[in-house]
Structure 1
Amino acid sequence: MESEIIELCHQRVKLDEEVLLLHVVHPLNMMMPESSNMFVYGSSNNGAVIGSGKETFNADFRFLNAKIESVLISASDGVQRSFSPVGSINTFFEYKIELMSTGGWFGMKISDLAQMAAKIDSLKKWTVSTYKITKQSICENLGKVERTVDKELEEEIEQLKILHKYYNQMLAMSKLFTSSFHQMNEAQKGLAESLYQLSLKEISLSAECSSNCDSLRSVAHNGELLERALSFFLSSIKTLSEKTFEDTMGTIHNYDQARLEYDVHRNETAALQQSNASPEAVADADFRCNQHRRKYEQLKADVKVKLKLLEENRWKVMRKQLLLLHNALIAYFSGK
């Protein structure tokens, strides 16, 4: 009796696994073209579907549950066990799936499967969108499609990119000059200390060594003041180039992406109108096109504002920093 119950339970577990695979693989099959090489539960070997897999599973569940219940009722060992029959596949998936085999899926709920299907659908949409945008970009570079162009804004963006390149060059040279000047100033301090130590040993050269030592120490002290000015100048240029400029460049990148998306949907809408598609399809495509057009227009306005603010901030910062650097250089070379 016990072995018969175990065998029936094993059959039920196997059926549970097939049900789970049906509901997990089904969303993936929706993303793939139909193929006669793919096996679907309830189909023959030649790939033709005989009947609905769901109805077949319903019959199997009812048969197994009834058989298990009848075996348990006829058992004479007095052990009480209960099995809740499942009337339909929909009712069954409202319960937690608990597989008895060690190779099965444990503790999965229908909500987990729904979440997995949602992620797959999101991945599908992202893949299609990326493909369309990439195709649009390549066709634009080859001159096969028209692109939306704002000549005045495009010129400002191009000038900004060139200007950003020069600011990056100035930042790199400022770092190099600050590092080299720091090393030179440390060498001056070391030379001054060496002359002082020599003056203690060479009594006859004490006056000359002390004179040069004092001069080098004075220059090194002025060098420390210039180092501070250079560090402040470098910090301000770094913030301007790596943060303020990059913030505007990020907005420009988003604007370019929005423009590509808008052109993709604009061309799709035009193609549907020329192909005499259904009014519903054209209206849906036109609605999506208008959504992306509004996004594009909003980001274009944001770019113009960012360009204006960057110009004002750039001039204000550079005027102040260049004046401070000029004063520091004059003070260093004049010895004041």
Structure 2
Amino acid sequence: MRHWGVVGHAVLAMALVTGLATACTSSPPDQISADQSVGGSLERQYTDVVNKVLPSIVEIQSPAGTGSGVVFDSDGHIVTNAHVVGRESRFSVRLSTGTQQLPATLVSSYPPDDLAVIKIEGGSNLRPARFGRSADLQVGDIVMAMGAPLGLEASVTDGIVSAVGRTVPEPPSEDSPGTVLRQAIQTSAPINPGNSGGALVSLDSQVIGIPTLAATLPQLGGTAPGIGFALPSDLVTDLATQIVANGRVVNSHRASLGASVQTVTDPDGKPIGVGIVAVQAGGPAATAGLQPGDVITAIDGNAVTDVITLQAVLAQHEPGDTVQVTVLRTGGAVTVPVVLGEQPAA
């Protein structure tokens, strides 16, 4: 009986609180009408964006798996992630507007920025996406992610721009050497396996990013909800245009030391720096006096413990920037200025 008494009081209390809340928060009819109007307007915007952009989204299938892509032009070029194409050169592409599978071949892949372009063979009536300027994005902008997560083609999710200009390490995988994404867009729109290579879309029906990866929680063995990253459209259109015109990236815009490097560890296996294996003749490192055997431990006073850390630091710079590089060599630590060069294109 005591158990039921507690439940009865709880129900009564909840009813009283509910009644009080209703009395305190009830809105005038005109305000309710205005709220419904705003909600209806946003809903219509969503529907309009989906109707305009979804026909430009494709599903890409290969022996390596399934991913997404965006129609780049009327000639059949499709932009996607490099890790979606992996080591494959032939693909099957399905438009979101039908079930027909179209053959496609690789034009070029550029793993340093995780971008690739493939081309549909014999495609017609393609609807190229409109690409916007990612430089104009603001935190809080509403965005929609479109793609084929988990093989569910023509799927749409939504969220906001959580941050811009992120530098994000992308771990290596079986089909990708790993890299550091530069100027990435962080979004709360869910990004799941299969979303990679699809579109992050503004309410202006413009593609402003290419969803690429989701943050992971190693301790839980899964992704972190609401934290995903996309390549910015300004970078995507630049590199894709180069690939379409030249068959490859010819100008990477990525800063480089002009040296081959590897992570150095102590006797316990702990990373302690980045060892220079070789330097490019006449390159930035060689010109500054760096040499094979030097171990880079800091750049501009910030610790560098492994290759990924070095890549992250360089991703925040432009070719032509001068950085202070601290290295360990016989005789102690030395800090030298290095004028960064440009990473060779694919």
TM-score tier by shorter-chain length is: under 0.3
Q: TM-score, normalised by structure 2?
A: 0.22
Larger radius of gyration: 1
Structure with greater helix percent: 1
Q: TM-score, normalised by structure 1?
A: 0.22
Structure with greater strand percent: 2
